[in-house]
């Protein structure tokens, strides 16, 4: 499966990218970066670092530094750490980003792999809206968009109403949801059903000492944040979206049109709507089975 991950790494983004890099059925064509957990410059640097760490030779294209219409955002340093990888210091990759912007790269890849490319946005979805604006055929050229974001019946995580990715750029999401692309939404309704605990990170390290130790190291800060909100583990947000790309039956879907609140106290909230295309919203899953599959994918 040809895949591009659009990302703001980020602790769970790192988990998702290393999962994808090791998966035998995933052909990762590149990463595109976006503001969100960190600034876009930090996201690009972290993405380049992850590519090298995973032993991949793929392009990294830098994307949006801010939301389409909302005022400048605040990076989620309190969740993902000052550099994006928990307590870990700044990582210095050897490689550099490509010249094309994220949106230009996405448009070109979707044309070159027409009908085959799966796009997995796991940060604010700004680059995807920018790609739609660049090329009216973009949405139709994709096989699927499987994005991590939103909460339909679940409570939000950045406000009581909104999940962080949809909160950071609701206007971009609004464009994507109306684009006619084939879309699945992997939101808090399912990602908070799979909590990785400190013991799970130890297990990752036992199975795969090289990547597992790195991930366990960065997890301390992230798990600490989750403790402050009463959870004894971190949601498997971004990895679950990537897993759902290759294992479509992993989550149960409701097919419904969805819209997103663009302003006011509920900004970023995703809701059932009418008068727009249906998307598939993940509403249920077997959390224990997903966690087992995720952990066992390391060191195999
Ligand atoms: C999403 O927000 C970010 O903090 C995570 O990386 C994930 O993409 C979860 O709400
Ligand atoms: Ca993310």
Q: Is 168 in the pocket of ligand 1 (CB under 6 A)?
A: no
Domain total of the chain? 1
Structure tokens at 150: 């939103």
Mean pLDDT of the chain: 96
Place 299 in a pLDDT band, splitting at 50, 70 and 90.
confident
Which atom of ligand 1 lies at the shortest distance from residue 191's CA? 9
User: CATH number of the domain that 242 lies in?
Assistant: 3.90.245.10
Ligand 2 centre and the CA of 37: distance in Å?
7
Q: Is 46 in the pocket of ligand 1 (CB under 6 A)?
A: no
pLDDT tens digit string along 241-295?
A: 999 999 999 999 999 999 999 999 999 999 999 999 999 999 999 999 999 999 9
Tell me the residue range of the domain where 182 lies.
Answer: 2-296
Q: Which of 204, 205, 211, 200 lies closest to 233, judged by CA?
A: 200
Which atom of ligand 1 lies at the shortest distance from residue 123's CA? 8
Contacts 24+ apart (CB under 8 A), 255-259: 255/279, 255/280, 255/281, 256/281, 257/177, 258/150, 258/152, 258/177, 258/185, 259/174, 259/177
Structure tokens at 134: 């660049």
CA distance 185 to 187: 6
Do the Cβ atoms of 194 and 240 come closer than 8 Å? yes
CA neighbours closer than 13 Å in the CB half-sphere of residue 151 = 23
The beta strands (E) that lie in the chain are given as: 2-7, 27-33, 60-62, 118-121, 144-148, 183-186, 195-196, 234-235, 251-260, 270-272, 278-285
Unique residue bearing structure tokens 């230009």: 104
Tell me the percentage of the chain whose pLDDT exceeds 70: 100
Ligand 1, pocket-test mutation among 46, 238, 241, most atoms within 8 A of CB: 238
Does residue 38 have a pLDDT over 90?
Answer: yes
Ligand 1 centre and the CA of 75: distance in Å?
11
> Which residues is 28 bridged to in the sheet?
3
| Strand-strand pairing, 270-272 and 251-260 | antiparallel
Which atom of ligand 1 lies at the shortest distance from residue 122's CA? 8
pLDDT tens digit string along 43-92?
A: 999 999 999 999 999 999 999 999 999 988 889 899 999 999 999 999 99
In this prediction the pTM is 0.98
**What are the two backbone dihedrals, phi and then psi, of residue 7, each rounded to the nearest 5 degrees?**
-145, 155
């Amino acid at each position: 499966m040809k895949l591009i991950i659009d990302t703001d790494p980020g602790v769970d983004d790192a988990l998702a990218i290393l999962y994808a890099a090791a998966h035998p059925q995933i052909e990762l064509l590149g990463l595109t970066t976006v503001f969100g957990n960190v600034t876009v410059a930090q996201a690009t640097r972290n993405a380049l670092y992850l590519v090298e760490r995973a032993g991949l030779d793929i392009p990294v294209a830098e994307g949006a530094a801010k939301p389409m219409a909302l005022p400048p955002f605040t990076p989620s340093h309190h969740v993902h750490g000052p550099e994006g990888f928990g307590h870990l210091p700044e990582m210095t990759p050897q490689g550099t980003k490509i010249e094309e912007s994220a949106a230009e790269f996405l448009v070109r890849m979707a044309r070159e792999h027409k009908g085959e490319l799966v796009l997995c946005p796991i940060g604010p979805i700004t680059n995807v809206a920018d790609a739609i604006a660049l090329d009216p055929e973009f949405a139709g050229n994709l096989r699927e968009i499987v994005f991590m974001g939103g909460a339909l019946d679940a409570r939000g995580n950045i406000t009581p109403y909104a999940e962080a990715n949809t909160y950071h750029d609701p206007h971009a999401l609004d464009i994507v949801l109306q684009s006619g692309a084939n879309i699945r939404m992997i939101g808090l309704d399912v990602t908070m059903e799979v909590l990785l605990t400190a013991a799970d990170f130890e297990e990752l390290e036992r199975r795969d000492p090289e990547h597992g130790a790195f991930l366990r190291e960065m997890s301390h800060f992230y798990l600490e944040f989750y403790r402050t909100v009463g959870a004894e583990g971190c949601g498997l947000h971004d990895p679950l979206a990537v897993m759902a790309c290759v294992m479509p039956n992993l989550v149960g879907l409701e097919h419904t049109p969805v819209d997103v609140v663009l302003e006011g106290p509920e900004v970023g909230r995703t809701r059932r709507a009418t008068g727009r295309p249906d998307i598939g919203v993940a509403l249920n899953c077997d959390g224990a089975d997903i966690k087992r599959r995720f952990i066992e994918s390391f060191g195999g």
